[in-house]
Structure 1
Amino acid sequence: MGWWAAAGVVAVPALAFLGFFRDPERQPPDLPGAVLAPADGEVMEVALVDDAWVGPAARVSIFLSPLDVHINRAPVAGLVAGVEYVAGKFRAAYKSEASEVNERCTVALEGDAARVAVRQIAGVLARRIVCRVRAGDKLEAGERYGMIRFGSRTDLFVPRA
């Protein structure tokens, strides 16, 4: 194997790794009362549910492929009212049941305009949830608070209109 081939064997995975862990700057819009997306990805489902923190809610499920940015950001400015980690299964994150059976971490936020919750959900490959906030912390809208590594899902719970 030549020098260039050996360099390619090292460079391709290294570039893929750097691409996965990228963290671009974001400037949240200045829209009072707006709820921002907590993650990049594809909206897979919107369902009406009853959430322990929000109450009657709409659950917006966002699937993050390995090509998406995996940083989670606060959807609203507010106080972290609670953080709950639940060990669970590692089923496909795009399936509806993943929100309730997979390993997950839910952050409850007392926003300026409303209560919301964000749930980080591990998937088949994504078995590492990072949540850097605790109850009592204050977050600004769009502020980074965690990440999920290697394909996953983020659910946003907002009050029903």
Structure 2
Amino acid sequence: MDIWRSIRNAIPSVNSAGYPFIGGALAIAIVGGLLWGVIFWVFLGLTIWMVIFFRDPERIPPDGDDLVLAPADGLVQPIVEAVPPAELELGTLPLKRISIFLTIFDCHVNRSPVAGRIARIAYKPGKFVNADLDKASEDNERNGLLLDTGKHQVGVVQIAGLIARRIVCTAKEGEQLRAGERFGMIRFGSRLDVYLPVGTEVLIKPGQRAIAGETALARMSAVGAVRTPVAPLAPTE
């Protein structure tokens, strides 16, 4: 039993968003394999890749209320100062932006970089240029979340890529998220941008690999941090 438990613990769970893709590829493998054996092996390989792509491992966030965690697995891009997307209403002054590029082999589950209330969710349609390019932050389809920690405001933006055609956000405005908690995913290959408060100390360097919910990207400082007023949520019926 211990051996089977160890094997099970070593295999990460699969995100429910992947069930239709995995099931579809497996069904084609079985049915197509009855007609031609090559189809079975091709789609069996695709099924295995789907399982790997939609993996959803458990993550353990480090201690520290002032830490900004990676919202995605992937490669850290050049860290720049950029004006946040207008729809987030974070102001018009440039803020430090940390971008993480995900390949089709990275885990694509997105996690909250901080503990806080979702003050705003803003979706904007756009293009599907290579997410590795800097202009993807401005031109591509995206979905932004503004997180209010009570002391700071952090923006995190899901950006579709060249292959990605579907941004999934399971969180809702007004919801309280824990640091490292899942809030969505992007299929297949994408980018996430994190906009940091003024006075934040960056802890990571471009070229490093980040692990969602575990890698500390930055540390928010109480000195010099500025909170942008956020309009209250409209009352629900």
Give the CA deviation at 1:126: 0.3
SS in structure 2 at match of 1:35: strand
Pair 16,50 (structure 1): closer, same or farther in 2 beyond 3 Å: same
Mapped partners of 2:37, 2:81: distance in 1: 54
- Pick from 53, 73, 77: which aligns with 2:90? 53
- Pick from 142, 166, 189: which aligns with 1:128? 166
Give the CA deviation at 1:46: 0.8
Mapped partners of 1:140, 1:151: distance in 2: 25
Give the CA deviation at 1:33: 0.8
Amino acid in structure 1 at the alignment position of 2:97: R
Runs of 4+ in 1 over 2 A off after TM superposition: 3-10
- Residue 149 of structure 2 corresponds to which residue in structure 1? 111
1:33–1:113 contact (8 Å) kept in structure 2: no
Mapped partners of 2:113, 2:101: distance in 1: 16
Structure 1 residues not aligned, in runs of 5+: none
Give the CA deviation at 1:43: 0.6
- Pick from 56, 64, 68: which aligns with 1:35? 68
Amino acid in structure 2 at the alignment position of 1:145: F
- Is residue 90 of structure 1 aligned with residue 128 of structure 2? yes
Mapped partners of 1:27, 1:56: distance in 2: 31
Greater strand content: 1
Pair 112,10 (structure 1): closer, same or farther in 2 beyond 3 Å: same
Deviations 1:31-79 (A, max 9, x none): 1211100000001121112333275421111000000000110000000
Name the TM-score, length of structure 1 as normaliser. 0.92
Structure 2 residues not aligned, in runs of 5+: 1-32, 200-237
Greater helix content: 2
Give the alignment of 1:143-158 within 5 angstroms: 143-158=181-196
Structure with max Cα Rg = 2
Give the CA deviation at 1:112: 4.2
| Greater relative contact order (CA < 8 Å, ≥ 6 in sequence) | 1
Name the TM-score, length of structure 2 as normaliser. 0.64
Mapped partners of 2:122, 2:82: distance in 1: 18
